[in-house]
Structure 1
Amino acid sequence: MIFHAFVRPILRQLSGEAASELDREKGVLARLSRNLPSAPGREDLVRVKLEREGEGFAAHPLMGNSAMISTMTGADGFITVPLENEGIRAGAEVRVTLY
């Protein structure tokens, strides 16, 4: 996740991609399946598993330590909880950055 959040954008910029291309991350919109708590003042990257739900997707947070192999292998991508938020409520639409 650190690679996707920090290293990849730097490599893309160094390779000469335009700023508009850098901002356009691959991802999908999904509905969050349950409440996701977060401490204010801290940006969290949370791994999620996607599930087809009607015409869209449901994002199921995979809770656990960021070093856990089981959450890495079971995840389809991650969502970002902005540092000014105290979490995200179930049912909210979130952007999932795909691996």
Structure 2
Amino acid sequence: MKHTETERTDGTAAMSTNDDIDESVRAELTRLRDSIDNIDAAVVHMLAERFKCTQQVGYLKAAHKLPRPTPPGKPARSSASATSRKAPSSTRPSRRSS
């Protein structure tokens, strides 16, 4: 016999057995839980398909040397300006170890 919590009118939880649950309520809970399981499976499937598509976008952009997206609110930088800001390795100060 399984026990479940039910909420009392004073807000505290009371234990009841599954035998105390009305059959129509039990059937409705089962129906809703099955529906939730189906939705979860569909969401997981859709996310997997989305990942496959975004992975292909990444492969294509890398293969054709296309720019990466710029996050919203961040100014876009061209590859020329990004490399011009970086000093050549021979002119960079060396790091001293302590």
Tell me, yes or no, whether TM beats 0.5. no
* Structure richer in strand, relative to its length: 1
Taking CA–CA contacts closer than 8 Å with sequence separation of 6 or more, which of the two structures ends up with the larger relative contact order? 1
**With structure 1 as the length reference, what TM-score do the two structures score?**
0.18
